[in-house]
Amino acid sequence: MLQFILKRICVMLITAACLTFIVFFLTNLFPNLEKLAKNQGNIRMTDDAVISWLDKRGYSQNIFKKYGEWLGVLPSLKVVDDKGQAYSRCSRPSIPASEASDFCGLLQGNMGFSSVFKDEVSAIISKRLNLTAYLMMAVLSVMIPMALAVGVISGMREGSRTDRTLSTFSIATTATPEYVSGVIFIVIFASSKTGLSPFFAEWGWIDGRTIVKGSAASAMDNITFRNFALPVMALALYGMGYIARMTRASMAEVMTAQYIRTARLKGVKFSTIVFKHALRNALIAPFTVIMLQIPWLLTGVVIVETMFNYKGFGWSLVQAADNNDIQLLLGISVIAVFVVLVTQLISDIGYAFLNPRIRVS
């Protein structure tokens, strides 16, 4: 078991190194750097000025060397120009280049300095990630119970009318990406002109003009049902269908097993069979799926946070990419890749751990 885990972790680290290098390469392509130089320096810079701007800050070095500096395994380049002005990528507004340390990379816990937000990337990410954590927690606590319930109920009597209805429902949810369900939800619940809100307001059932809010901006300070319901529902709905279908398949398979038939013939109550005998075995497969669904939610988080103006991790990704904030985009990518790889690792190990039929080593 230990060997298996170690091997998986090794593969994970190699993958992480490859992926971060690809991201590094793509963000450090010359047109991006040129844009950065013009944004930071002067829009009407000449080509020569751009080159010298990039030279001074170490951007025109070999890509592997730059990657090494960014990782923190190579010392960062320090340049002193003819006017005696020193430049280093480790310098900050408060720390001049002459006093900056030689190593300032990922391994030193230094993710760089955001050119748009004018702040340490690590500080921005921890703040934004915190906001997204609330969203994720809310989504998972709605999505998982709902998906498991739908899956178990439809899987326990395969082919019944309930099964068909619920299966069609879960197919429908997988056909509704967040940007579609978000629009539909806003039209129904958060518009003062259409949907249910005008009726509810007329009958005096709600205080405001709409049932819930179409923006989650106020949820950053204070989460309420009114400002958080729609983003959570939009995310949970799309992710739910797949888990429900997997649970259903797994449950249906377990229900045809010999030991369930024996229990039924013994005259055990149906509810006891489902809860005591079938459920535990049926939930092994969905566990993996749920873990693998988390990186999937990442795309959804970006969509939902943009749509509902919730300034979390996904929102910062969009901001970083749109404004060519290379350091922030790199930092966000590292976190995103890390989340994907760790959930894959947990799902692999967890599956081997939970399923007694799999013996590793």
Partner 1 sequence: MEPLTSFNIFTNIVSQFWVVWLGIILVFLISIRTKRSTGLYGKLFDSPIGMTGFVLVLFWVLTALFADLIMTHNPLDQVSGMKNKVPGTPLRGATENDYQWYLLGGDHLARDVFSRVIAGSRIVLKIAPLATLFAFMVGITLGLPAGYFGKKIDTTLSFLANLILAFPVILLFYLLVTPEIIETGLPKYLAGVMFLIPILFMLLLWQSRFHIRPKVRNKFMLWTLLVGGWIYLGAAFNADPLVIIRNLFYGPEVEWSLFPKGLVYMQPNILIVFVSVVFVNSPTVFRIVRGMTMDIQTRDYVAAAQTRGETPWYIMLWEILPNARGPLIVDFCLRIGYTIILLGTLGFFGLGLESESPDWGTTINSGRKLLSIYTHPALPPALSLMSLVLGLNLLADGLREQSLKD
Determine, following the binding rule CB under 8 A, whether residue 194 of this chain makes contact with partner 1: yes
Binding-site size for partner 1 (CB under 8 A) equals 55
**Interface characters, 43-82, with partner 1 (x: CB under 8 A):** ----------------------------------------
Among 44, 193, 357, 359, binds partner 1 (CB under 8 A): 193
Among 72, 75, 198, 295, binds partner 1 (CB under 8 A): 295
Determine, following the binding rule CB under 8 A, whether residue 149 of this chain makes contact with partner 1: no
Determine, following the binding rule CB under 8 A, whether residue 191 of this chain makes contact with partner 1: yes
Nearest residue (CB) to partner 1, 90 versus 320: 320
Cα angle vertex 162, ends 240, 247, to 5°? 35
Helix (H), strand (E), coil (C) string for 52-101:
HHHHHCCCCCCHHHHHHHHHCCCCCCEEECCCCCEEECCCCCCCCCCCCC
Smallest gap, in angstroms, from Cβ of residue 355 to partner 1?
18
Smallest gap, in angstroms, from Cβ of residue 44 to partner 1?
19
Residues 317-356 binding partner 1 (CB under 8 A) are 317-318, 321, 324, 329, 332-333, 336-337, 340-341, 344
Specify whether the CB–CB gap between 230 and 181 falls below 8 A: no
Determine, following the binding rule CB under 8 A, whether residue 9 of this chain makes contact with partner 1: no
Determine, following the binding rule CB under 8 A, whether residue 210 of this chain makes contact with partner 1: yes
CA distance 76 to 79: 10
Determine, following the binding rule CB under 8 A, whether residue 217 of this chain makes contact with partner 1: no
Determine, following the binding rule CB under 8 A, whether residue 13 of this chain makes contact with partner 1: no
Residues 155-184 binding partner 1 (CB under 8 A) are 167-168, 171-172, 174-177, 179-180, 182-184
Residues 15-34 binding partner 1 (CB under 8 A) are 15, 18-19, 22-23, 26-27, 29-32
Nearest Cα to Cα of residue 129 among 315, 324, 342: 315
Residues that bind partner 1 (CB under 8 A): 15, 18-19, 22-23, 26-27, 29-32, 35, 167-168, 171-172, 174-177, 179-180, 182-184, 186-187, 190-195, 210, 214, 295, 298-299, 302-303, 306-307, 314, 317-318, 321, 324, 329, 332-333, 336-337, 340-341, 344
